[in-house]
Amino acid sequence: ICVLKSYQKRGLGEFTLNKLIERTQKELHINSVVVYLNNSQSKEFFEKTGFKECGEGEYVFDGETRQGVKLMK
């Protein structure tokens, strides 16, 4: 999810994420996300919406292995 800087801090990203989470949990049974290890802003955003960190490791992002943090709801 990407929100233009001029629209950030208005709750749009959180609202969109919550709707996306509701649908993915219900229809796809997905309850976790992985963010880049060095992306603290993204990690804080997911934690704000109720996700909890459950570990760090190597994950594949667009075919490239990178360090990431897994968060679950």
Query: What mean pLDDT comes out for the span 62-71?
Result: 94
Whole-prediction pTM value? 0.72
* Section 36-42 average pLDDT: 92
Is the confidence at residue 1, as pLDDT, over 90? no
pLDDT category of residue 35 using cuts at 50, 70 and 90: very high
pLDDT bracket for residue 67 (50, 70, 90): very high
Residue by residue, what is the 3-state secondary structure of 4-57?
A: CHHHCCCCHHHHHHHHHHHHHHHHHCCCEEEEECCCHHHHHHHHHCCCEEEEEE
CA–CA separation, 23 and 30 (whole Å): 9
pLDDT surpasses 90 at 2: no
Which residues are paired to 56 by β-bridges?
69
